[in-house]
Amino acid sequence: MRRRSSGASLVEVLTAATLTVGVLFAAVSALLFGSGSWIRGLGKISADSEAKRAVLAVSQILREAMAVTVDADGQGLAFRYPMKDANGRFVVPPVWDGVSRRIAVQGGNLVLTEGAASRVLCRGVYPIDPKTGSSYRVFTAPGGAIVREITVQIVTSRDGRVANEAQGRVRETVFLRNVPQITR
């Protein structure tokens, strides 16, 4: 009886190696393509979240304001808070507490200034609205002597991938108390 040798021929080994390399190349390509989309998505989520946090912060800050004045260019506003008594209740009739307050875009950041102290509410405020492709007003108030509502629009920009930016855009109308004085 002849003995049969077991094993693979050279042609079979080269075919298997070629198929393995092709499958690995396809898998690595899919991974790299997916990770690029993942990074762009994370940039978009980060930009949207930052814009939402900024609009929420402005809304909460202006909720108790008794007098709000929007700048002519729409890039800032000044506001006043009413005075509170020792128990934390508002003094009636409302009287200004004497502290000058302002929210404005400064150097690409949205900054709250209260008296001499300042803090950044939002970093990376983008000057161009991605929907219109032109500059926009951060704060918009309807005409009239007493401002009852302000539309706040924030566009933020984050690095979504090398040389690509992801923008987040949030627009909301904030309704104000804004009663500079009580008339009888």
User: What residues contact residue 169 under an 8 Å CB cut-off, 6+ apart?
Assistant: 48, 51, 129, 130, 131, 153, 154, 155
The tokens for 158 are: 């984050």
Q: What is the pLDDT of residues 76-130, one digit of tens each?
A: 999 988 888 899 888 888 888 889 999 999 998 999 999 999 999 998 898 888 8
Q: What is the pLDDT of residues 151-168, one digit of tens each?
A: 999 999 876 554 467 888
The tokens for 107 are: 């150097």
Contact in structure between 75 and 105 (CB atoms under 8 Å): yes
Whether residue 40 has pLDDT greater than 60: yes
Could you tell me whether strands 76-80 and 101-106 are parallel, antiparallel, or unpaired per DSSP bridges? Answer: antiparallel
Cα distance between residue 167 and residue 124, in whole Å: 10
Q: What is the pLDDT of residues 15-37, one digit of tens each?
A: 999 999 999 999 999 988 888 78
Q: What's the pTM value of the predicted model, to 2 decimals? A: 0.73
Cα distance between residue 163 and residue 184, in whole Å: 60
Cα distance between residue 105 and residue 153, in whole Å: 12
As a whole number, mean pLDDT of residues 56-73 equals: 89
Residue of higher predicted confidence among 139 and 143:
139
